[in-house]
Amino acid sequence: MMEKINLFCLPFAGGSRYSYRLYEDNMPSFINIIPLEYPGRGARMREPLMDNIDQILHDLYQQVKDKLDQSYAFYGHSMGGLMSCLLARKVIENKKTPPLHLFITGTTGPAALSRTEKKRHLLDKKAFIEEVRNLNGSPDEILQNDELLDYIEPILRADFKVTENYVYAANESLNVPMTVITGTKEDMKIEDVYLWQKETKIAVDFRRMPGHHFFIYKYPYEIIQIIAKKLVVHSKSY
The predicted-structure confidence for 145-158, as pLDDT tens digits, reads as follows 667 777 888 898 89
Query: Side chain identity at 29, as an amino acid letter?
Result: S
Query: For 27-37, what is each residue's pLDDT tens digit?
Result: 999 999 999 99
Instruction: Give dist(CA 86, CA 123) in Å, integer.
Output: 27
pTM of the model: 0.92
Q: Are 196 and 204 in contact (CB under 8 A)?
A: yes
Task: Report whether pLDDT(132) > 80.
Answer: no
DSSP 209: E
Give the pLDDT of residue 133: 73
Of 10, 200, 225, nearest to 105 by C-alpha is: 10
Q: Residue 136: which residues within 8 A CB-CB, separation 6 or more? A: 212, 213, 214
Of 178, 210, 176, nearest to 193 by C-alpha is: 178
Task: Report whether pLDDT(226) > 60.
Answer: yes
DSSP 155-168: HHHHHHHHHHT---
Q: Is 211 left (phi over 0), alpha (psi -120 to 50) or beta?
A: left
Query: For 86-131, what is each residue's pLDDT tens digit?
Result: 999 999 999 999 999 999 999 999 999 876 667 778 777 778 877 7
Task: Report whether pLDDT(77) > 90.
Answer: yes
Task: Report whether pLDDT(236) > 70.
Answer: no
Task: Report whether pLDDT(138) > 60.
Answer: no
Instruction: Give dist(CA 117, CA 106) in Å, integer.
Output: 18
What confidence category does residue 76 fall into, taking pLDDT thresholds of 50, 70 and 90? very high
Give the pLDDT of residue 143: 61
Give the pLDDT of residue 129: 78
pLDDT averaged over every residue in the chain? 89
Give the pLDDT of residue 116: 66
Query: For 48-60, what is each residue's pLDDT tens digit?
Result: 999 999 999 999 9
Instruction: Give dist(CA 202, CA 64) in Å, integer.
Output: 24
Q: Are 61 and 94 in contact (CB under 8 A)?
A: yes
Instruction: Give dist(CA 16, CA 18) in Å, integer.
Output: 5
Give the pLDDT of residue 145: 65
* HSE-up (13 A, CA, CB side) for residue 94: 16
Task: Report whether pLDDT(214) > 60.
Answer: yes
Give the pLDDT of residue 238: 38
